[in-house]
Amino acid sequence: MALNAAATPVKMIFPTFILLPRAADELEIPFVSSGGMADGRSLVASLAMGAEGMNMGTRFIATKEAPVHDNVKQALLAATELDTRLVMRPLRNTERVLTNTAVERLLEKEAALGKGIKFEDIAPEVAGVYPKVMMDGEVDSGAWSCGMVAWLDQ
C-alpha cells in the first residue's frame, strides 16, 4: 500500500509496532528502530520487524562508559516509566524529559500562560541546562531529555 501523505494527520505519531513493519514494507534503504530500545529483547523485536539495528539514547546514558556525571546515572536508575513528562508542547518544540522540580515549575507556567507562552517565559527551566546537568551533576537545575525506558536501566 502506498503512503498517502495528504491524508495522514500531521500530529499522528505511530507506535513502534506499527511503524517498523510499515517502514520495512515501504523503504528500500536500511533503517533502525529508535525510542524505548534498551536491551537484547528490543534488538530481537526490532530485527523481527524489519529494522537493521536499533538506536539507544536514554539507556546508553546510564552505562558506566557514558561520560556524564554520576548523578545523572543515579537519577535514571531511580526513575520509573512514570517519571517523564512532555514539555514545550505549546511552543511546538515537544521534548520528553525526566520530571523534577524545574519541570513541574515549567508545566505550571505552560498551564497558566496557555497559547500566549513565549520561550522567554520558560528560559530559566530550559536554557543552558545540559552542561549543568551532564557535567556538574545538577540534575534538578532544569529540563533534560529522558525516554520512558528509564525504568529498564535497573
Ligand X SMILES: Cc1cc2nc3c(=O)[nH]c(=O)nc-3n(C[C@H](O)[C@H](O)[C@H](O)COP(=O)(O)O)c2cc1C
How far apart are CB 72 and ligand X at their closest, in Å? 8
How far apart are CB 51 and ligand X at their closest, in Å? 13
The residue behind cell 507506535 is 15
How far apart are CB 17 and ligand X at their closest, in Å? 15
Query: Which segment (20-28, 76-84, 106-114, 141-149) binds ligand X by CB under 6 A?
Result: 141-149
The reply on whether position 59 binds ligand X by CB under 6 A is yes
Query: Which segment (8-16, 57-65, 86-94, 114-122) binds ligand X by CB under 6 A?
Result: 57-65
Instruction: Write each residue from 17 to 36 as x if it is in contact with ligand X (CB under 6 A), else as -, in one continuous string.
Output: -----------------xxx
The reply on whether position 73 binds ligand X by CB under 6 A is no
The reply on whether position 147 binds ligand X by CB under 6 A is yes
SS3 string, 48-113, reads HCCCCEEECCHHHHCCCCCCCCHHHHHHHHHCCCCCEEEECHHHCCCEEEECCHHHHHHHHHHHHH
The reply on whether position 145 binds ligand X by CB under 6 A is yes
Question: Which amino acid would we find at residue 139?
Answer: V
Bridge-based pairing state of the strands 32-34 and 53-55: parallel
Question: Which phi and psi angles does 73 have, rounded to 5°?
Answer: -65, -40
- How many residues belong to the site for ligand X (CB under 6 A)? 15
Burial of 60 (0-12, 13-18, 19+ CB in 10 A): middle
Q: By the criterion CB under 6 A, which residues form the site for ligand X?
A: 34-37, 55-59, 61, 144-147, 149
